């Protein structure tokens, strides 16, 4: 137990130091690349992605952690980048929408969102794509109910969600047929 | 560190409550103690005696998915599964849900907004807009898992530089919107213990919300009960606990509900009667959407339904 | 091949889909320019106050603050309507709602700007404020705008036909008050503007201004910037990047768009301002809370004999589109059904709240809710099926309605027929389990306003097309794609008309330096008007190509067919050239052939030029034809424009300019709901929505628009409502303003009906707004079918439904809705009733800055 307290102590020192607005060098691994970034430890991951790394695909839609437009994967799990301190992702693998198009072509889910009308204004789309990615990584063959529940982390104002279900079904079918690989 | 900066530090577990609040300048701490990286406090550990220990940093999604908890403490998994949205449950922790700040429409607003209303008693002001003239803060405790934990008679471990203490969760919430939990500013909640005696209760959690996701509860009812088993699996109630959330400044146990249910067979009329008691325990005010009268009424209906549903299990 | 088209009518991914799904596309807030600073706006904490003085000196001294702009920096009023220039970008002498714009700090970071806001001292003289439109109308003093006595923005009184006679001839008359709650667009992208000045090379002083903004109306923005900044329009360039949804919320000039330019001028550096979500709610311009006193009369055969509506709109503190909104509310009583006698009294009232403006279904939605619910009641009284009573009141187009609206294509009968059939209405209506029900309703909307808000004879849309030797078609359009897919629509029309593949077409849109003027994306005008302009521009270019190609082929130009990148003679089978050239021609995924360097001749045309050029050709590739045309004519460009015909521009009565449209879309919907009788919770299971869009140019998009409209209507019907208390918006965020999540969003079955409008491009009409209005009454009528209560107040929150159910069953009365009966609401309530507030609440503090403890300095001193 004293080990635990020691860990806490060590960690709080670091963060506290940072909140004096002094920047720290923090290595952040994003989309398979490591960046050494001088950031305030109070900086939110979303702001660091958008402002420091110019990865503007992750969006800010709300200020109360309700909309999901900023969703990224942290070690494969979907998280809100507006609700995470960038410094706390040190040592973890962050994947943003920019890391989804593999080998220079659209991932099946991206292609399907375009084909089936899953994206209209597109502002919420990166967040949805990340949510779907994490869903399919865990559950490659989700039921309609699973999909509906997973999508409930993100708000969309254009589509009424219906065409997203078709897109996701199509993407799963495409993955299964191996079309995506071609 | 915590002791040294007691007034100027906030603890961040999942961040899903604290970070939006910091954005609204409800907290302007000089230090944030970010616990995210501490693996020791994450995990669900079945105990040899049949109970369970849950690290305070265990994400709500892990609780929701734990087959062990689902089997032995279903009311907790059910409650955890209703918190906010799936992504928030990936980030939010059980410890954070227990320590969740109380909520009110006049409080969870931006600094500019709060300026417009002249602030409120919970933060920066001396007025209550919800109960004008009163000096008590009625901000509602809006965590989903604590009522389930109260039903299970859970205990929590609190750590500070001075060491550890273990208290019953039932003693953790004093019922005031401002000082809503018995936790010193140099203390942390580190673990949750589910007693072996509470395992195997039928459990149901019912949550009033406008949307099927994202929303905090506008009223919530947790029911855990044990019954004698006769041949058909239907028997009299031996023990029952009912707790409410989002309708008072603390999650509250409905005290006489257990007595009323004990030793009886559940039927519509009994469930109805317990619902009435629960509704009387609820003291909702205009702290959130939907009228207080409606929320109280839903406590009645949801309690009745939860009891009947638990009896089906 | 559907209907003989190769591109029109095909399910087509949007031309910018990949930008959106990869995150590569740039929205305004994604754009940075070097030296860019951040602007933050100080908002009024009072709903109504005079500004005595503003002291910005402390803020200016803060390290990192570059400038602080206030009203005096640009003291010119503006507003979207020429009659409504009543706003200042930053308040001059008065603030009129909590959230009104007072000052703007420009700083090197957002955190510093926020800190500086705290250091601005504004001395206010607080005035009495008005929150209830009916009270506001009775005000004797302290008017919100001095030139609007009784806080009345505008009222209209129309009588068409002989309503009194209509009522006297009726067998049944229903009369009731309806109240519709206030809703807002809540587009996912918060408004953002980036403004940057150049230095003029000749004068050496501040010169041209470039503005990137999340707008539906770049040309209006250019115009208003010119007015307020006193700069010539040609010195201002407005660029619309990707826009993350509009729904009307970006269809007028929003204060931040001008503030950013003022701030950039003062700071002498580029400035970006992006609203917080709360600021988006304060900017608002949504659908006003509306009181509708409605009286409708029918004969026993179901025929409507007269309608009388008195409508009061709680418009907020500025005019915005208000005059248009209140006129639409009356005008669109016409053109759906055949109503011989109409009386309309509309009042647009000012209150001390953020301004309401245009929102999807602008003006028609709340009145349509009231009308369709009342029609359902009348059907029940004369024992007629609700679908049948709608069929009994159909128009007989082509016709001109009693209020002067010209209707040509009219797919409403087919919409009703199809939605009734698909939903199983006849077999299932009235036969569902208790607590489950079906409801039907109809609606319609304009395909663009026939008269523009700025009176002039200019075309509403103009499009230029340029084709060069590479065979690439570049379309320059002012149309503003805000997610509805207008760029794709323009590309499709151009490609179909020119007979080329979609991949050849590149759309350059909504950049005032590059693209010809278009009024913007509002009133569902883009497909009809910009689509027609595109069609005309493409036809003009096509004529040039045809003339040259015909010469080469020894045919007459009229004999040529352009299709799928081939030009061939009518009557001949379409050649399949690529098979012959398969070895040589690399075909890209999208089907375009590759241009390049052939036989030593640069830019001769495509690889297909290898074909021997001997004698007249049987057919030509599109590129060969283009090259021939350029050789023959020189530059290959075309222009098309569109203005609505005179016959479509409506009656001569006062206010008669609003409502007329070259074409109307139609919708009929059936909603299936269930109601939990113990909790009052309503679940919508499915909505069948048939929509007459003239012709579906891109069915995926049309269906997406229908679904999106129905879904947004469902939000207004059940969960969305702006809730106020003494001018404070209680739910200025997406957590408390509840736009539906995927969980409670129903399956929506879109049914496309094509009436082929005689004037629409390829027969197309609007498809993005018309469906919204029918959803709310369809759900209300379904609730009645399920549990027998008729709600006259929206949204149909569980406490309202439960209150109505308890009253009906005469159960123990609970004060669920502040004593207001949602089946017959009388009083207007600022907070709508979703929240219950006892008493008036405490008075506000005199906002002594000392009252708030200074924030723990975030480390500055340490």
Tokens representing residue C342 in the block: 């109409």
Q: What is the pLDDT of residue C854?
A: 39
Instruction: Decide which of C618, C642, C666 is a domain's last residue.
Output: C642
pLDDT-based confidence at residue C596 (cuts at 50, 70, 90): very low
Supply the mean pLDDT for chain A. 90
- Mean pLDDT (whole number) for C669-675: 98
Q: Are residues C583 and C721 in the same domain?
A: no
For an interface test with B, give the residue of C279, C842, C849 to mutate (most B CBs within 10 A).
C842
Q: Are residues C547 and C680 in the same domain?
A: no
3-state secondary structure of C757: coil
pLDDT-based confidence at residue A180 (cuts at 50, 70, 90): very low
CB contact under 8 A, B118 and C845: yes
- Mean pLDDT (whole number) for C135-150: 96
Gap from A2 CA to chain C (nearest CA, Å): 30
Interface of B with C (CB under 8 A): 8, 25, 28-30, 85, 105, 109-110, 112-113, 115-119, 124-125, 127-129, 132-133, 210-216, 286, 289-294, 297-298, 301
3-state secondary structure of C796: coil
The chains found to touch A (3+ Cβ pairs under 8 angstroms) are: B, C
| pLDDT tens figures, C777-805 | 999 999 999 999 999 999 999 999 999 99
Dihedral sign for Cα A108, A112, A113, A115, please.
positive
Which of A63, A149, A162 has the CB atom closest to C748's CB atom? A162
pLDDT-based confidence at residue C849 (cuts at 50, 70, 90): very low
Tokens representing residue C811 in the block: 């159960």
**Is the predicted pLDDT of residue A6 greater than 70, yes or no?**
no
| pLDDT tens figures, A47-94 | 999 999 999 999 999 999 999 999 999 999 999 999 999 999 999 999
- Mean pLDDT (whole number) for C717-724: 95
3-state secondary structure of B240: strand
Q: Are residues C563 and C704 in the same domain?
A: no
CB contact under 8 A, C859 and B128: no
* Alpha-carbon distances of C715 from A157, C729, C738, rounded to whole Å: 10, 19, 8
**Is the predicted pLDDT of residue C578 greater than 90, yes or no?**
no
Which residues neighbour A138 within 8 Å (Cβ) at sequence distance 6 or greater? none
Q: What is the pLDDT of residue A179?
A: 52
The residue ranking higher by pLDDT, B185 or C523, is C523
Closest-CA residue to C433 (of C691, C824, C785)? C785
Q: How many Cβ pairs within 8 Å bridge chains A and C?
A: 181
CATH of A102-181 given 3.10.20.740, 1.10.150.120, 1.10.760.10, 3.40.50.970: 1.10.150.120
Task: Return the CATH number of the domain spanning residue range A8-98.
Answer: 3.10.20.30
C735 to chain B: which residues are within 8 Å by CB? 214-216
Number of domains comprising chain C: 3
* Alpha-carbon distances of A71 from A82, A97, A153, C20, C466, rounded to whole Å: 8, 9, 9, 15, 41
Domain locations along chain A: 8-98, 102-181
Residue whose token pair is 């003693």: B171
Q: What is the pLDDT of residue C654?
A: 94
| pLDDT tens figures, A29-53 | 999 999 999 998 889 999 999 999 9
Tokens representing residue C778 in the block: 């369809």
Contact between residue C779 and residue C372 where contact means Cβ atoms under 8 Å apart: no
Dihedral sign for Cα B292, B298, B300, B306, please.
negative
Query: CA angle B224-B229-B231, nearest 5°?
Result: 145
Q: What is the rounded CA–CA span in Å between residue C322 and residue C190?
A: 23
CB contact under 8 A, B87 and A1: no
C304-314 and C473-477: which strand pairing?
Answer: unpaired
C747-753 and C682-692: which strand pairing?
Answer: parallel
Q: What is the pLDDT of residue A17?
A: 41
Query: Could you tell me how far CA C77 lies from the centroid of its own chain?
Result: 24
For an interface test with A, give the residue of B27, B86, B107, B191 to mutate (most A CBs within 10 A).
B86
What residues form DSSP beta bridges with A94?
A30, A74
Q: Is A42 near chain B, with CB under 8 Å?
A: yes
Q: What is the pLDDT of residue C311?
A: 98
Same fold, A8-98 and A102-181: no
CB contact under 8 A, B8 and C856: yes
Q: Are residues C526 and C477 in the same domain?
A: yes
Which of B2, B23, B212 has the CB atom closest to A63's CB atom? B23
CB contact under 8 A, B9 and A12: yes
Supply the mean pLDDT for chain C. 92
The chains found to touch B (3+ Cβ pairs under 8 angstroms) are: A, C
B159-168 long-range contacts, Cβ below 8 Å, gap at least 24?
B159/A1, B159/A4, B159/A5, B159/B187, B159/B188, B159/B190, B160/B2, B160/B3, B160/B184, B160/B186, B160/B187, B160/B188, B161/A5, B161/B2, B161/B3, B161/B186, B164/A1, B164/B190, B166/B193
Q: What is the rounded CA–CA span in Å between residue C264 and residue C33?
A: 13
Report yes or no on C626 lying in a domain: yes
- Mean pLDDT (whole number) for C109-135: 95
Report yes or no on C144 lying in a domain: no
Angle between helices C772-787 and C798-809 (to 10 degrees): 30
What residues form DSSP beta bridges with C394?
C337
Gap from A62 CA to chain B (nearest CA, Å): 10
Q: What is the pLDDT of residue A130?
A: 98
A129 to chain C: which residues are within 8 Å by CB? 21
3-state secondary structure of C261: helix
Q: Are residues C720 and C744 in the same domain?
A: yes
Q: Are residues C475 and C580 in the same domain?
A: yes
**Is the predicted pLDDT of residue C232 greater than 60, yes or no?**
yes
Complete DSSP assignment for C408-427: ----HHHHHHHHHHHTTHHH
pLDDT-based confidence at residue A27 (cuts at 50, 70, 90): very high
Angle between helices C798-809 and B292-312 (to 10 degrees): 80
Tokens representing residue B127 in the block: 């007025």
Q: What is the pLDDT of residue C766?
A: 98
Instruction: Decide which of C587, C618, C642 is a domain's last residue.
Output: C642
C838 to chain B: which residues are within 8 Å by CB? 132, 286
Q: Is A120 near chain C, with CB under 8 Å?
A: yes
Q: What is the rounded CA–CA span in Å between residue B12 and residue B101?
A: 12
Report yes or no on C500 lying in a domain: yes
Q: What is the pLDDT of residue A22?
A: 80
- Mean pLDDT (whole number) for A1-9: 56
Plot region of C333 (φ>0 → left; ψ -120 to 50 → alpha; else → beta): alpha
A12 to chain B: which residues are within 8 Å by CB? 1-2, 9, 31, 33
* Alpha-carbon distances of C291 from B209, C288, C366, C369, C828, rounded to whole Å: 28, 10, 9, 11, 8
pLDDT beneath 50, residues of chain B: none
Helix/strand/coil percentages in chain B, nearest 5:
35, 20, 45
CB contact under 8 A, C736 and B289: yes
Q: Are residues C584 and C704 in the same domain?
A: no
Instruction: Decide which of C596, C625, C642 is a domain's last residue.
Output: C642
Contact between residue C751 and residue C690 where contact means Cβ atoms under 8 Å apart: yes
Percent of chain C residues topping a pLDDT of 90: 87
Complete DSSP assignment for C170-188: -SEEEEEEEEE--B----S
Tokens representing residue C445 in the block: 């909307």
- Mean pLDDT (whole number) for C270-282: 98
Which residues of chain A from 52 to 71 reach within 8 Å of chain B, CB to CB? 63-66, 68, 71
B81 to chain A: which residues are within 8 Å by CB? none
Q: What is the pLDDT of residue B127?
A: 85
| Residue B205 backbone phi and psi in degrees, to 5 | -125, 130
Q: Is A161 near chain C, with CB under 8 Å?
A: yes
Q: Are residues C653 and C691 in the same domain?
A: yes
Domains and CATH numbers, chain B: 6-196 (3.30.465.10), 202-312 (3.30.390.50)
Say which CATH number the domain at C59 has: 3.90.1170.50
CB contact under 8 A, B5 and A150: no
Q: How many helices (H) and strands (E) does chain C have?
A: 20, 33
Q: Are residues C429 and C477 in the same domain?
A: no
Chain B's closest residue to A12, CA to CA, is B33
Q: What is the ipTM of this complex?
A: 0.96
Cis peptide, bond prior to residue C172, ω within 30 of zero: no
Closest-CA residue to C99 (of B23, B26, B112)? B112
> Residue C807 burial by CB count (10 A; 0-12/13-18/19+): exposed, middle or buried?
middle
Q: What is the pLDDT of residue C602?
A: 42
CB contact under 8 A, A65 and B88: yes
pLDDT-based confidence at residue C594 (cuts at 50, 70, 90): very low
A182 to chain C: which residues are within 8 Å by CB? none
Report yes or no on C39 lying in a domain: yes
Say which CATH number the domain at C171 has: 3.30.365.10
Q: Are residues C228 and C307 in the same domain?
A: no
Q: What is the pLDDT of residue C624?
A: 94
| pLDDT tens figures, C599-632 | 334 444 444 445 555 567 889 999 999 999 999 9
Percent of chain C residues topping a pLDDT of 70: 92
Gap from C730 CA to chain B (nearest CA, Å): 7
B37 to chain A: which residues are within 8 Å by CB? 11, 88, 90-91
Report yes or no on C504 lying in a domain: yes
Q: What is the rounded CA–CA span in Å between residue C5 and residue C3?
A: 5
Q: What is the rounded CA–CA span in Å between residue C684 and residue B45?
A: 42
Q: Are residues C600 and C638 in the same domain?
A: yes
**Which domain, by its residues, includes C604?**
2-22+458-642
- Mean pLDDT (whole number) for C676-697: 98
pLDDT-based confidence at residue A3 (cuts at 50, 70, 90): low
The residue ranking higher by pLDDT, C767 or C843, is C767
| Residue C461 backbone phi and psi in degrees, to 5 | -145, 140
Residue whose token pair is 């039903």: B151
What residues form DSSP beta bridges with B123?
B120
Gap from C14 CA to chain A (nearest CA, Å): 7
Q: Is A145 near chain B, with CB under 8 Å?
A: no
Q: What is the pLDDT of residue C603?
A: 46
Q: Are residues C209 and C312 in the same domain?
A: no
Closest-CA residue to C502 (of C489, C515, C518, C485)? C489
Where b means 16+ CB within 10 Å and e means fewer, B66-100 reads beebbebbbbbbbbbbbbbbbbbbbbbbbbbbbbb
| pLDDT tens figures, C459-507 | 999 999 999 999 999 999 999 999 999 999 999 999 999 999 999 999 9
Q: What is the rounded CA–CA span in Å between residue C460 and residue C648?
A: 14
Q: What is the rounded CA–CA span in Å between residue B39 and residue B43?
A: 8
């Amino acid at each position: 137990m004293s080990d635990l307290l020691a860990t806490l102590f060590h960690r709080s020192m670091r963060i506290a130091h940072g909140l004096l607005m002094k920047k720290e060098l923090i290595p952040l691994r994003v989309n398979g690349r490591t960046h050494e970034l001088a950031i305030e430890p109070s900086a939110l991951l979303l702001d660091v992605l958008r402002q420091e790394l110019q990865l503007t695909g992750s969006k800010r839609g709300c200020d109360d952690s309700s909309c999901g437009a900023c969703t990224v994967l942290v070690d494969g799990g979907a998280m809100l980048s507006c609700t995470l301190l960038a410094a706390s992702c040190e040592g973890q693998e962050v994947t943003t929408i920019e890391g989804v198009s593999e080998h220079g072509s659209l991932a099946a889910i991206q292609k399907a969102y375009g084909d089936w009308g899953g994206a209209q204004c597109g502002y919420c789309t990166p967040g949805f794509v990340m949510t779907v990615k994490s869903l399919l990584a865990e559950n490659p063959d989700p039921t309609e109910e699973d999909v509906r529940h997973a999508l409930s982390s993100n708000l969309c104002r254009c589509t009424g969600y219906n065409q997203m279900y078709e897109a996701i079904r199509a993407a799963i079918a495409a993955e299964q047929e191996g079309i995506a690989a071609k | 560190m915590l002791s040294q900066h007691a007034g100027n530090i906030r603890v961040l577990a999942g961040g899903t409550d604290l970070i939006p609040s910091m954005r609204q300048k409800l907290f302007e701490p000089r230090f944030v103690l970010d616990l995210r990286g501490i693996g020791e406090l994450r995990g669900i550990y079945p105990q040899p005696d049949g109970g369970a220990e849950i690290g305070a940093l265990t994400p709500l999604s892990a609780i929701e998915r734990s087959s062990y908890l689902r089997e032995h403490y279903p009311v907790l998994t059910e409650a955890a599964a209703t918190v906010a949205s799936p992504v928030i449950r990936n980030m939010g922790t059980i410890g954070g849900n227990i320590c969740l700040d109380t909520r009110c429409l006049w409080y969870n607003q931006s600094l500019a907004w709060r300026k417009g209303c002249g602030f409120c008693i919970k933060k920066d002001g001396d007025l209550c807009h919800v109960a004008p003239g009163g000096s008590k803060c009625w901000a509602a405790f809006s965590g989903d898992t604590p009522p389930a934990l109260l039903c299970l008679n859970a205990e929590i471990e609190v750590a500070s530089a001075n060491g550890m203490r273990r208290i019953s969760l039932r003693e953790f919430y004093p019922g005031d919107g401002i000082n809503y939990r018995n936790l010193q500013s140099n203390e942390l909640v580190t673990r949750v213990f589910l007693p072996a005696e509470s395992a195997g209760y039928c459990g149901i959690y019912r949550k009033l919300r406008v949307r099927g996701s994202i929303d905090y509860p506008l009223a919530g009812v947790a029911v855990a009960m044990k019954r004698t088993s006769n041949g058909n699996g239907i028997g009299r109630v031996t023990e029952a606990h009912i707790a409410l959330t989002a309708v008072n400044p603390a999650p509250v146990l409905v005290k006489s509900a257990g007595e009323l249910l004990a030793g009886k067979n559940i039927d519509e009329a009994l469930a109805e009667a317990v619902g009435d008691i629960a509704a009387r325990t609820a003291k909702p005010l205009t702290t959130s959407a939907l009228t207080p009268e409606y929320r109280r009424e839903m406590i009645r209906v949801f309690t009745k339904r939860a009891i009947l549903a638990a009896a089906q299990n | 091949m559907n209907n003989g088209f190769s591109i029109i009518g095909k399910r087509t991914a949007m031309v910018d889909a990949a930008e959106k799904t990869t995150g590569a596309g740039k929205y305004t807030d994604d754009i940075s320019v070097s030296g860019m600073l951040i602007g933050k706006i100080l908002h009024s904490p009072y709903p109504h106050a005079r500004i005595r003085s503003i002291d910005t000196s402390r803020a200016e001294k803060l390290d990192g603050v570059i400038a602080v702009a206030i009203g005096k920096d640009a003291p010119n009023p503006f507003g979207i309507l020429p009659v409504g220039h009543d706003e200042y970008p930053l308040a001059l002498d008065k603030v009129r709602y909590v959230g009104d714009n007072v000052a703007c700090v420009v700083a090197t970071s957002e955190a510093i700007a926020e800190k500086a806001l705290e250091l601005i001292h504004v001395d206010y003289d607080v005035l009495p404020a008005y929150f209830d439109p009916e009270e506001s109308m009775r005000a004797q003093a302290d008017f919100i705008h001095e030139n609007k006595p009784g806080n009345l923005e505008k009222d209209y009184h129309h009588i068409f036909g002989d309503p009194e006679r209509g009522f006297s001839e009726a067998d049944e008359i229903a009369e009731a008050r309806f109240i519709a709650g206030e809703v807002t667009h809540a587009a996912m992208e918060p408004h953002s503007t980036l403004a940057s000045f150049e230095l003029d090379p000749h004068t050496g002083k501040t010169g041209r201004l470039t503005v990137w903004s999340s707008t539906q109306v770049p040309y209006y923005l250019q115009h208003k910037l010119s007015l307020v900044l006193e700069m010539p329009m040609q010195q201002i360039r407005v660029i619309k990047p990707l826009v993350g949804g509009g729904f009307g919320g970006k269809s007028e000039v929003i204060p931040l768009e001008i503030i950013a330019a003022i701030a950039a001028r003062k700071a002498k550096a580029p400035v970006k301002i992006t609203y917080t979500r709360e600021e988006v709610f304060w900017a608002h311009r949504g659908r006003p809370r509306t009181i509708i006193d409605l009286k409708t009369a029918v004969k026993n055969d179901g025929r409507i004999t007269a309608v009388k509506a008195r409508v009061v709109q709680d418009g907020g503190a500025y005019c915005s589109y208000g005059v248009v909104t209140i006129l639409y509310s009356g005008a669109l009583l016409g053109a759906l059904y055949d109503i011989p006698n109409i009386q309309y009294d509309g009042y647009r009232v000012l209150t001390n709240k953020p301004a309401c403006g245009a929102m999807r279904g602008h003006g028609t939605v709340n009145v349509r809710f009231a009308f369709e619910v009342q029609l359902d009641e009348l059907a029940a009284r004369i024992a007629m099926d609700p679908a049948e009573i709608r069929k009994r009141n159909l128009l007989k187009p082509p016709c001109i309605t009693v209020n002067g609206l010209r209707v040509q294509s009219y797919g409403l009968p087919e919409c009703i027929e199809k939605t009734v059939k698909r939903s199983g209405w006849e077999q299932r209506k009235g036969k569902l389990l208790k607590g489950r029900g079906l409801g039907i309703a109809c609606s319609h909307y304009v395909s663009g306003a026939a008269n523009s808000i700025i009176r002039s004879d200019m075309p509403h849309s103009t499009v230029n097309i340029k084709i060069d030797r590479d065979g690439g078609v570049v379309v320059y359009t002012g149309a503003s794609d805000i997610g509805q897919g207008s760029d794709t629509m323009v590309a499709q029309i151009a490609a179909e008309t020119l007979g080329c593949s979609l991949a050849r077409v590149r759309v350059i849109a909504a950049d005032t330096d590059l693209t010809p003027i278009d009024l913007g994306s509002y009133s569902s005008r883009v497909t009809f008007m910009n689509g027609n302009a595109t069609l005309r521009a493409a036809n003009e270019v096509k004529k040039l190509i045809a003339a040259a190609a015909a010469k080469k082929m020894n045919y007459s130009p009229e004999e040529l067919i352009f299709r799928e990148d081939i030009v061939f003679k009518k009557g001949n089978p379409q050649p399949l050239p690529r098979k012959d050239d398969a070895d040589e021609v690399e075909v890209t995924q999208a089907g375009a052939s590759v241009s390049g360097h052939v036989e030593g001749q640069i830019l001769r045309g495509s690889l297909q030029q290898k074909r021997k050029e001997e004698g007249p050709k049987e057919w030509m590739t599109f590129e060969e034809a283009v090259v021939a045309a350029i050789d023959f004519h020189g530059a290959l460009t075309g222009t098309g424009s569109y203005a609505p015909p005179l016959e479509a521009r409506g009656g001569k009565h006062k206010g008669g300019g609003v409502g007329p449209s070259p074409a109307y879309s139609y919708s009929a919907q059936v909603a299936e709901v269930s109601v939990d009788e113990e909790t009052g919770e309503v679940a919508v299971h499915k909505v069948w929505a048939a929509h007459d869009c003239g012709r579906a140019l891109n069915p995926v998009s049309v269906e997406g628009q229908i679904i999106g409209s129905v879904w947004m209507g469902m939000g207004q019907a059940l969960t969305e409502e702006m809730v106020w208390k003494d001018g404070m918006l209680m739910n200025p965020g997406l957590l408390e303003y509840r736009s539906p999540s995927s969980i409670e969003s129903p399956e929506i079955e879109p049914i496309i009906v094509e009436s082929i409008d005689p004037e629409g491009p390829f027969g197309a009409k609007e498809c993005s707004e018309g469906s919204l209005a029918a959803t709310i009454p369809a759900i209300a009528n379904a609730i009645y079918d399920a549990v027998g209560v008729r709600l006259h107040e929206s949204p149909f929150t569980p406490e309202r439904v439960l209150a109505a159910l308890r009253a009906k069953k005469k159960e123990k009365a609970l004060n669920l809705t502040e004593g207001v009966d949602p089946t017959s609401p009388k009083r207007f309530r600022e907070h709508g009733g979703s929240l219950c507030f006892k008493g008036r609440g405490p008075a506000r503090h005199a906002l002594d800055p000392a009252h708030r403890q200074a924030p723990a300095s975030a480390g500055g001193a340490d």
